[in-house]
C-alpha cells in the first residue's frame, strides 16, 4: 500500500491538463508543488504554486512532466510559459535521492541527465491504453483546426491520413464518419488492411507522392520525416497540411508554408478536453507510482 503522505510530487510544465493531474495528485495526500502551466485564479486545492521549476523540484520524489514530446531545444512542453523549461542535470539534481520522473517520452538529453543522477524515467508514450483514452480529445481538436483552416467542408473532401496508429486510426474513422473521402498512407500492410476494412483507401507510404495531387487535406501522425518535398510540391495549392506528431514531427512545415499551403503543427491537442485527458493521464501516472513504490517495499 503506497504511503502517499510521505511523497513529494512536482508537476512541472504543461497546459490545462496538468491542472487536473496536480489536483488529483493532491487528493492522494501527497505534498504537491507545481510550476510552468496555466495557474487558475482560484488556485488548486492542496497544491502549492512554486516560484520556479527549481523550487518545485526541490526534494521531490516524483516529477510529473507533460506527455507531448520534448522540443528540439530540450525544453518541456509549456505553451503558456514565457521561458523555456529545460530539465538539465543541474535542475534535476534538486530532486530527492532515488527520485523518478514520469512523462510521455524522454529525449537523449533528459536520459543522460537522469542517468547521471540515478533518477528513474517512467515513460508512458507507448502505453496503448492511455493513448486510446486521450485519442478522442486529440481527434476532436484536429477536426476543429481543420474546420478553422479550410474554406471547404470535410464532407466529400479528398483527405489523407499518414500513419495508422492509435491517433491515425481514430482520425481516419472520424473523417470517414464526417463524409470525407479518406486515404490512409502507411508502411505496415496490416494497418493498410485495417484501413481498407473501415472503408478507407489503403496506400503504401512510398506511393504517397504519386497520389498527393488529389488531396486537399493531409493529416500526418508519424513522428519521423515522411511528408517532405515530393509530397508537398505535388499537393494542390493552399492545401491544409497538419502535423499531429510529437517532435521532431513528420512534415516539413517551413517548406509547406513557402509553397503556400496552410501548415499547422497541432501539438498538445489533448488540452481541448483537459479534465478528461488529465484524468486519463493521471490514471497511468498513478499506476506507475504505485508499482514503483510497491517494488521498493518488496526489495
For residue 293, how many C-alpha atoms fall within 13 Å in the half-sphere facing its CB? 16
Q: Cis omega before residue 123 (within 30°)?
A: no
Q: Residue 138: what pLDDT? A: 93
Q: Residue 160: what pLDDT? A: 98
Strands 100-103 and 31-35: unpaired
Q: Residue 112: what pLDDT? A: 97
Query: Which stretches in the chain have pLDDT values below 70?
Result: 297-299
DSSP letters, 233-267, are HHSPTT-EEEE-SPTT-SB-HHHHHHTT-EEEE--
Residue 185 near residue 206 (C-beta atoms within 8 A): no
Q: Residue 272: what pLDDT? A: 84
Q: Residue 142: what pLDDT? A: 97
Residue ranges of domains in the chain, CATH in brackets: 4-126+273-298 (3.40.50.720), 154-267 (3.40.50.720)
Q: Residue 298: what pLDDT? A: 61
In angstroms, the Cα distances linking 108 to 32, 79, 235 are 27, 21, 35
Q: Residue 267: what pLDDT? A: 82
Q: Residue 54: what pLDDT? A: 98
C-alpha cell at 59: 526534494
125-147: pLDDT as tens digits: 888 898 898 899 999 999 999 99
Q: Residue 270: what pLDDT? A: 84
Rounded CA separation 297/299 (Å)? 6
Sheet harboring 158-162: ordered strands across?
Answer: 201-204, 181-186, 158-162, 217-220, 240-243, 262-265
Which residues have CB under 8 Å from 136's CB, separation 6+?
170, 273
Amino acid at each position: 500500500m503506497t504511503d502517499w503522505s510521505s511523497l513529494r510530487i512536482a508537476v512541472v510544465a504543461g497546459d490545462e491538463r496538468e491542472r487536473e493531474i496536480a489536483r488529483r495528485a493532491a487528493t492522494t495526500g501527497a505534498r504537491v508543488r507545481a510550476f510552468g502551466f496555466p495557474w487558475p485564479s482560484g488556485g488548486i486545492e492542496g497544491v502549492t504554486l512554486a516560484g520556479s521549476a527549481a523550487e518545485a523540484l526541490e526534494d521531490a520524489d516524483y516529477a510529473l512532466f507533460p506527455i507531448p514530446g520534448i522540443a528540439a531545444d530540450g525544453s518541456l512542453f509549456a505553451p503558456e510559459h514565457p521561458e523555456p523549461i529545460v530539465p538539465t542535470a543541474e535542475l534535476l539534481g534538486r530532486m530527492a535521492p532515488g527520485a523518478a520522473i514520469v512523462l510521455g517520452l524522454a529525449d537523449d538529453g533528459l536520459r543522460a541527465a537522469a542517468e547521471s543522477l540515478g533518477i528513474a524515467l517512467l515513460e508512458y508514450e507507448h502505453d496503448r491504453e492511455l493513448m486510446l483514452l486521450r485519442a478522442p480529445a486529440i481527434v476532436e481538436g484536429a477536426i476543429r483546426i481543420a474546420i478553422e483552416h479550410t474554406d471547404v467542408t470535410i464532407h466529400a473532401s479528398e483527405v489523407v491520413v499518414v500513419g495508422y496508429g492509435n491517433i491515425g486510426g481514430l482520425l481516419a474513422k472520424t473523417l470517414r464518419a464526417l463524409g470525407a473521402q479518406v486515404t490512409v498512407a502507411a508502411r505496415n500492410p496490416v494497418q493498410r488492411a485495417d484501413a481498407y476494412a473501415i472503408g478507407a483507401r489503403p496506400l503504401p507510404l512510398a506511393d504517397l507522392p504519386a497520389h498527393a495531387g488529389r488531396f486537399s487535406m493531409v493529416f500526418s501522425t508519424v513522428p519521423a520525416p515522411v511528408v517532405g518535398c515530393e509530397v508537398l510540391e505535388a499537393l494542390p495549392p493552399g492545401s491544409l497540411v497538419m502535423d499531429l506528431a510529437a517532435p521532431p514531427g513528420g512534415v516539413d512545415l517551413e517548406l509547406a508554408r513557402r509553397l503556400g499551403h496552410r501548415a499547422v503543427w497541432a501539438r498538445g491537442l489533448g488540452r481541448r478536453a483537459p479534465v478528461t485527458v488529465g484524468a486519463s493521464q493521471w490514471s497511468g501516472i498513478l499506476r506507475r507510482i504505485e508499482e514503483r513504490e510497491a517494488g521498493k517495499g518488496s526489495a
